[in-house]
Chains A and B, each alone.
Chain A
Amino acid sequence: MIPSDHFTRFYNEVFKFLESKGQEDLDLYWLEISKNQEKHILDLIRTKGLQGMYEYWSVIEEEENCELDLMVDDEHLELHMHGCPSLAKVMDNDAAPMTRYCDHCAGWIGPIMDKTGYHLVYDVISRTEPRCVMRIFKDVEKAKEAEKSVQLLMGWPGKKAAT
């Protein structure tokens, strides 16, 4: 058994292999992971909207030992990750980190937001710092406005990053 604690280091090896095959292979994998994640989050979004997302990421905060602030209002959800355990473990690793490790988060979340009619703005800030800001909007114009102030905007399968 690879311990669930070590999943991210396994994930990192998978990413490195897929990156060697090309971007299309990475995109297909993220879509597969996105599909896998639907069973954990899709019903919550469809029945409770932004509040359902808040519930999902509250569980993640606890189970994955994240240092983050989460807020939600009628218009959007905002997650400020101050200490991402996933990237932190990949960097505290005897194997080399995949340089675009952070891209997988938007890679699986983006397609779910597209599917449910929400608009994701994912600012990774820096791929070597375990922090990021994720905003999810109901209104596309508000999402476009938020994109203007990001430092490192992530894309996902079906949406290229604007910057």
Chain B
Amino acid sequence: MQKLPETPLRYQEEGNVHLDFHGAVNTTIDFIVERYGVEVLHEIFAKVGRDVYVDLRRHMLEGHPEEMVRHWRHFFARENADYDIAVSEDEIVLTVRRCTAYHHVAKISPSVSAHFCDQTTKVNEAIAEGTPYRIDTEITGPGACRQIIRRRA
């Protein structure tokens, strides 16, 4: 990978974080799945990946998956998650041991939606769609996962 000069992320954020938004995401996921089905939920997440994260997609298309690493570091640090990122020649692996979003929802909501982690899986897929890379998401436990970027075969 060729190293890019450091510029602010497209959606760089400063200031405080409002974790209760994750509770609203959880409520929204259940609302959409119950009324319209899981395919509609996945299409909404795909739109987030394709239409909101245009800049991340552009970096992936241009052969710069390291922008995803910067994105992960920025936002997982802001939310004080327990994670690490291993970058090798063949793959980039984000290991999330404690996802702040999942555990905050578990604390404030009656239950965490069975589809809560679909936001990660489906947004990742959409960011990588049509690019030389895949992003595979493996859920490894409650509020834990591995997200792996690999060049497509």
Contact = CB atoms under 8 A, between A and B. Distances in A.
Q: Does B associate with A?
A: yes
- Main secondary structure on B side of the interface with A: helix
Interface stretch (A9-17, A43-51, A144-152, A154-162): A9-17
B27 A32 contact: yes
Nearest to A16: B47
Interface in B1-54: 10-11, 13-25, 27-28, 31-32, 35-36, 40, 43-44, 47-48, 51-54
A63 B52 contact: no
Given A1-B101, A3-B75, A5-B75, A13 B52 contact: yes
Contact of B52 (A21, A40, A62, A94): A94
Point out which of B47, B78, B101 has the most chain A C-beta atoms below 10 A from its C-beta.
B47
B109 to A, nearest CB: 8
A63 B16 contact: yes
A4 B24 CA distance: 10
Contacts, number: 109
Given A3-B75, A3-B79, A36-B24, A13 B31 contact: no
Point out which of B18, B35, B120, B123 has the most chain A C-beta atoms below 10 A from its C-beta.
B18
B25 A64 contact: no
A17 B44 contact: yes
A3 B78 contact: yes
A63 B25 contact: no
Nearest to A2: B119
A142 B36 CA distance: 41
B99 interface: yes
B52 A29 contact: no
Contacts of B22: 4, 7
